[in-house]
């Protein structure tokens, strides 16, 4: 099934294919890694998925992306979340998948993310930590576990990886929520839908060693993420007191979208 331009994507009951999927990413000086990521997406989706890169690079990453057929939007470097926010706001297709372009995330799992969306989930989050994440720098791994514990305590639901870059979303979830965070956007993209009762699931994924250097400062970035988790969780819980109950992970799905 391909996108027929319906505005309310959730009303359809037949299964989405990769022709309904946009894979989006922020790209910041990732020339070494981006080719492999885009080739994997092309191979795994049989060339059907659209790719959107929001690029702030000065190393020729954008040219490599265009050579691989990606749509490139240029943006001044303003941080992870500013780039990813633009990236998720750009596609028209009904299923949006985020990833990093540092070749850490397993594009071969894209069919599993799409299958979970077709099972009725609104957000499918790639959980790196349950499988050990041995290739992640130790400090980052401990920090990411701590973020997951903090978020779980604050929202009252167990989540395992709040800072993963690989997720699939139904387009209407992206449209329905106002996103406010920058470095903490990844956590926000998981936590707001979860507390609002959208159907959210985590699936364990492998995580590879990064190609090239990260642009995120672990200390300043970590503090910003912790602050975002606290702010977003408390805001959402406060708002949900007058609204519906949180959905929880892995609850029974009915195949309907809100
Ligand atoms: N366009 C753009 N992309 C960014 C920016 N900061 C990070 N990224 C990209 O966002 C993704 C996540 O950043 P990364 O350095 O991998 O963070 P890490 O996974 O926590 O090490 C990567 O694909 C980066 O290239 C930015 O300021 N602008
Ligand atoms: Mg990364």
Model pLDDT, residue 110: 98
Check pLDDT > 70 for residue 184. yes
Whole-angstrom Cα distance, residue 51 to residue 32? Answer: 18
- Binding site membership of 25 for ligand 1 (Cβ less than 6 Å): yes
What is the average pLDDT value for the chain, to the nearest integer?
Answer: 91
Residue at 109 is within a domain: yes
Check pLDDT > 70 for residue 250. no
For ligand 2, the distance from its centroid to the CA atom of residue 210, given in whole angstroms, is 7
Whole-angstrom Cα distance, residue 202 to residue 220? Answer: 27
Residue at 55 is within a domain: yes
Residue at 33 is within a domain: yes
Q: Which atom of ligand 1 is nearest to the CA of 102?
A: 23
- 60 and 51 in contact (C-beta within 8 Å)? no
Q: How confident is the model at residue 253 (pLDDT cuts 50, 70, 90)?
A: very low
Whole-angstrom Cα distance, residue 12 to residue 7? Answer: 11
Token pair 């959980």: residue: 127
- Greatest alpha-carbon span in the chain: 50
Query: Percent of the chain at pLDDT above 90?
Result: 84
- Binding site membership of 102 for ligand 1 (Cβ less than 6 Å): yes
Which of 34, 39, 56 has its CA nearest to residue 101? 34
Check pLDDT > 70 for residue 254. no
Model pLDDT, residue 228: 98
For ligand 2, the distance from its centroid to the CA atom of residue 212, given in whole angstroms, is 10
| Domain CATH for 77 | 3.90.550.10
Q: How confident is the model at residue 142 (pLDDT cuts 50, 70, 90)?
A: very high
Residue at 117 is within a domain: yes
- Binding site membership of 26 for ligand 1 (Cβ less than 6 Å): yes
- 133 and 55 in contact (C-beta within 8 Å)? no
- Binding site membership of 207 for ligand 1 (Cβ less than 6 Å): no
* Chain segment 99-124, per-residue pLDDT in tens: 999 999 999 999 999 999 999 999 99
Model pLDDT, residue 164: 98
Residue at 132 is within a domain: yes
- What mean pLDDT comes out for the span 151-176? 98
For ligand 2, the distance from its centroid to the CA atom of residue 182, given in whole angstroms, is 15
| Ligand with minimal distance to 28 CA | 1
Token pair 């995120």: residue: 216
| Ligand with minimal distance to 76 CA | 1
Check pLDDT > 90 for residue 26. yes
Selected residue with higher pLDDT from 6 and 130: 130
- 126 and 166 in contact (C-beta within 8 Å)? yes
Residue at 6 is within a domain: no
Residues with CB under 5 A from ligand 2 (ion): 100, 102
- In this structure, the residue with its CA closest to atom 7 of ligand 1 is 80
Choose the residue to mutate in 76, 80, 103, 129 for probing ligand 1, maximizing ligand atoms within 8 Å of C-beta: 80
Q: Tell me the three state secondary structure of residue 22.
A: strand
Model pLDDT, residue 211: 84
For ligand 2, the distance from its centroid to the CA atom of residue 242, given in whole angstroms, is 37
* Chain segment 201-219, per-residue pLDDT in tens: 999 999 999 988 888 888 9
Domain count, the chain: 1
Residue at 2 is within a domain: no
Check pLDDT > 80 for residue 8. no
- 15 and 1 in contact (C-beta within 8 Å)? yes
Query: Cβ neighbours of residue 207 under 8 Å, at least 6 residues apart?
Result: 104, 105, 106, 128, 131, 133, 135, 136
Residue at 28 is within a domain: yes
What residues make up the domain containing 51? Answer: 16-240
Check pLDDT > 70 for residue 249. no
């Amino acid at each position: 099934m391909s996108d027929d331009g319906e505005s309310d994507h959730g009303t359809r009951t037949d299964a989405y294919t990769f022709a309904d999927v946009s894979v989006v990413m922020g790209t910041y000086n990732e020339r070494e890694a981006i080719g492999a990521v885009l080739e994997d997406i092309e191979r795994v989706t049989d060339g059907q998925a659209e790719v959107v890169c929001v690029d702030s690079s000065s190393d020729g990453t954008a040219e490599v992306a265009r050579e691989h057929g990606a749509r490139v939007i240029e943006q001044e470097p303003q941080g992870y979340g500013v780039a990813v926010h633009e990236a998720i706001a750009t596609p028209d297709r009904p299923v949006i998948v985020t990833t990093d372009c540092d070749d850490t995330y397993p594009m071969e799992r894209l069919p599993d993310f799409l299958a979970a969306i077709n099972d009725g989930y609104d957000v499918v989050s790639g959980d790196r930590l349950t499988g050990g994440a041995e290739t992640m720098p130790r400090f980052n791994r401990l920090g990411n576990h701590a973020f997951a514990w903090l978020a779980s305590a604050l929202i009252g639901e167990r989540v395992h990886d709040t800072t993963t870059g690989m997720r699939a979303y139904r387009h209407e979830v992206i449209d329905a929520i106002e996103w406010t965070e920058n470095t903490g956007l990844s956590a926000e993209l998981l936590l707001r839908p979860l507390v609002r009762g959208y159907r959210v699931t985590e699936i364990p994924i492998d995580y590879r060693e990064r190609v090239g250097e990260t642009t995120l400062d672990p200390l300043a970035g970590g503090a910003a993420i912790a602050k975002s988790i606290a702010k977003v969780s408390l805001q959402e819980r406060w708002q949900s007191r007058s609204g519906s109950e949180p959905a929880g992970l892995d609850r029974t799905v009915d195949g309907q979208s809100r």
